[in-house]
Amino acid sequence: METKTAVTLLAALAQETRLAIFRHLVVLGPQGLNACKIGEALAIPPATLSFHLKELAHAGLIKARQEGRFIFYSARFEAMGELLAFLAHDCCGGRECGLPASSECKEGGC
């Protein structure tokens, strides 16, 4: 992952409502949830929710799929994993630190 991409993802998460939405979608897993139910679960008004979902989707942290008349949103776990791997790439200078090793840093001892 390039630094510019990491900054975009982190910037999208650097807002309380967007972070809450993303964390909620992570808990729900790949099936996700429709926008109305997300708003209900987190007590976010529809217009506000729409704005934040757009920002998360633009950053590549969530994806949307149409099912009938509803739009379902789910976390993009691959983006989350890439961001975590980027953040932990040189973790602890290669010394054992207790973080789970990503595929990129197994040899480095993350």
The helix (run of H) or strand (run of E) holding residue 70 is strand 70-75
In a domain, 103, yes or no: no
In a domain, 50, yes or no: yes
Q: Residue 66: give the domain boundaries.
A: 3-94
Cα separation, 103 vs 110, whole angstroms: 10
CATH value at residue 20: 1.10.10.10
Helices (H), 14-45: 16-28, 35-42
pLDDT at 103: 47
pLDDT at 99: 62
pLDDT at 98: 66
Q: pTM value? A: 0.83
DSSP-based three-state secondary structure for 30: coil
In a domain, 18, yes or no: yes
In a domain, 108, yes or no: no
pLDDT at 107: 38
Counting the structural domains of the chain, the total is 1
In a domain, 64, yes or no: yes
In a domain, 102, yes or no: no
In a domain, 104, yes or no: no
